[in-house]
Amino acid sequence: MNKKEITWAPLIPLIGGQALGAEKAFGKPPEAIYSFGGFEANDSHYVNYQQNTLGRKDIPYVLLDSENPNIKQVDVVTGTPPCAALSQLNTGTTAESKGAGCAKNDFMYMVFENGIDVLGAKVVIVENAPALFTNKGRPVANKLYEICKERGYSLTLFKTSTRFHGVPQGRDRSFAIGWKSESAPVMNYYNRDRKDFAEYLQEIPDNALHQDLVINKNVPDEPYYNFIKTKTNRDVREIMVEENVKTTLNYVCKKGWMKEANEWFHKTGNEKGIKYSDHAIMKFADGKGVWDGSVHVFGEYMNAVIGRNMVDTMHPTEERSLTIREALHMMGFPEDFELLDGLKKMNHIAQNCPVPTSRDMHLEISKFLTGDLELSNTTYLRQNNLKQLMEYDPNGTDTTPNLEEFFG
């Protein structure tokens, strides 16, 4: 197959980072945008970008569970089903609400099943939490393997981090890829050059959308940040980067300043500081930890663009939090990409794959379809880009791996 002949479509694109990465890799827009009922609000940003910002009115948005959907088969289906079940941020306490037994994992199976059975894809890829690559996600990965095996497809689990794909963000993710092949291909590893956090944000042009939408205007007033600033009379970001400490609470604790900070908050009448430090001192006395909502400071690269990291991160060179545009930029979105409803929907930014990470995954898919990837001798391959190694021998003689050893 020639690269120009490859057709593709997203299934559950959500905000669209993975789909935009696929478009960069394949060099062409999707044939359609597929999803399921219930995801319309999350998908709306990507649908708006394709149909309105780029003027591609001919790209339909199709719900596969609607009555008589208009379906066009494609070579590649790329999906970003919800990762909440395996996410570290999931606070559920039951098997039904968290982990491998959570019903939200069903959307991963639905992408694979519909991608192959309905859309006829030769390759199906889904992005999910790093736990998919661990024992915690083993039952889910096994189920995906069974779906592939029953249809004559092989499976690859590929773990990577955004910092290996040219973006200064430490976002570890796992990909499950079903290949129409008896043996899984051996994907290339990536370690692209990248700018540091501050340099990367400087790339944003002045006319980019959402520059004025500051995520958290209270960041400069955070109690521990101001205590450190007053005590040291230095740029807090500079000293924290020097000592490789990521939050102001951790820095105060590292220096043994908690009691002094508490006294300063009482002396200056800082009600938030009094509340936070009184609570922390009590918890520490009981040998317990505390939830850390203090300012986050990053040097070379920031932690994953999720939850509190988006809200509490201090800009690397300015005394403020990030803007919506900067958060989108850290996910690799183009400067004209619009987040509908702005700050109200900022959580949607984190619910996806960074564009550059997706681009590299789909470049490998393109190589497979054009016959430019070597095949392993196994139907179930696991590759770890963080360690740049295969954790199941592709040159082994067995086509069915020993799953006990595979996940060991």
Summarised one tens digit per residue, pLDDT across range 305-358 is 988 889 999 999 999 999 999 999 999 999 999 999 999 999 999 989 999 999
33 located within any domain: yes
Q: What pLDDT is attached to residue 12?
A: 97
What distance in Å separates the CA atoms of residue 88 and residue 267, rounded to the nearest whole number? 38
Number of domains comprising the chain: 2
Q: Are residues 182 and 44 in the same domain?
A: yes
Q: What pLDDT is attached to residue 129?
A: 85
57 located within any domain: yes
Secondary structure in 3-state letters for 28-43:
CCCCCEEECCCCHHHH
What distance in Å separates the CA atoms of residue 298 and residue 197, rounded to the nearest whole number? 8
What distance in Å separates the CA atoms of residue 63 and residue 71, rounded to the nearest whole number? 10
Q: Where a domain ends, among 303, 322, 341?
A: 322
73 located within any domain: yes
Which helix H or strand E contains 212, and what residues bound it?
Answer: none
132 located within any domain: yes
Q: Are residues 180 and 238 in the same domain?
A: no
202 located within any domain: no
Q: What pLDDT is attached to residue 131?
A: 86
Sign, CA torsion 403/144/167/82:
negative
Q: Are 292 and 250 in contact (CB under 8 A)?
A: yes
Q: Are 366 and 322 in contact (CB under 8 A)?
A: no
Pick out the chain residues at pLDDT < 70.
Answer: 83-104, 392-408
Q: What pLDDT is attached to residue 84?
A: 52
Q: Are residues 37 and 151 in the same domain?
A: yes
Q: Are 204 and 316 in contact (CB under 8 A)?
A: no
Q: Are residues 248 and 191 in the same domain?
A: no
337 located within any domain: no
Which one, of 389, 357, 403, lies nearest residue 142 by Cα? Answer: 403
Q: What pLDDT is attached to residue 188?
A: 97
First and final C-alpha spacing in the chain:
37
Q: Are residues 189 and 314 in the same domain?
A: no
pTM: 0.90
Kindly report the number of other CB atoms within 10 A of residue 253's CB atom. 18
What distance in Å separates the CA atoms of residue 144 and residue 379, rounded to the nearest whole number? 12
Q: Are residues 177 and 56 in the same domain?
A: yes
- Domain of 288? 214-322
> Looking at beta carbons, which pairs linking 133-137 to residues 24 or more positions away fall under 8 Å?
133/157, 133/159, 133/174, 133/382, 133/384, 134/407, 135/407, 136/86, 136/99, 136/100, 137/86, 137/100, 137/174
164 located within any domain: yes
